[in-house]
Amino acid sequence: MTDRQHFTEPHGVRPGIGYSHGVAATGRIVAIAGQVAMDEDGELVGPSDPKAQTERVFENLRLVLAAAGATFADVIKFGVFVTDMEILPIVREVRDHHVDTARPPASTAVQVGALFRPGYLVEIDALAVISDEIR
C-alpha cells in the first residue's frame, strides 16, 4: 500500500459521515471508469434492485482494480452516480463492506436523470493509488 493521509475533519469543515474530505497519497494513479451492474455477458444484474446492482458494481470495481494490481485498500476516491438519492444508504452499506470505514476514501455522490441504459440505478467510478513499481 502507498503512503497516504486522510483529511476526515479538516479545520473549519464539518466532518464527513462515511467519507474523507480529502486523501493525499504517493504512487501511481489508477483511474477506474464508471462501473454499472453489468455482468460479463453485458446483461443488467438486479433489475429494480438497488442492492443487487450496487453489489455487482463493486464486484466490477474489484475486478478492474485487480487487473491493475490494486485493491479497495488502494482507492482514494469514489464518484457515485444514482438515479434516486433514496438508494444512497444502500450504496453506502455495500461500499462499507469493501473499504476501511475508519479511513474511508473521498467521495462524491450525485443524482442523475438517467444512466447510459434504462434500468441502471447506480454507477461508480474510482481513483486508486498504488506503488510506483509496476506490478
Write out pLDDT tens, residues 79-124: 999 999 999 999 999 999 999 999 999 999 999 999 999 999 999 9
Q: What is the pLDDT of residue 13?
A: 86
Strands 22-25 and 106-111: unpaired
The string of pLDDT tens digits covering residues 25-74 is 889 999 999 999 999 999 999 999 999 999 999 999 999 999 999 999 99
Fold classified for 19-130: 60s Ribosomal Protein L30; Chain: A; (3.30.1330)
The predicted model scores a pTM of 0.89
80 or 133: which leads in pLDDT: 80
From residue 24, alpha-carbon distances to 29, 105, 127, 129 in Å are 12, 10, 12, 10
Domain boundaries, the chain: 19-130
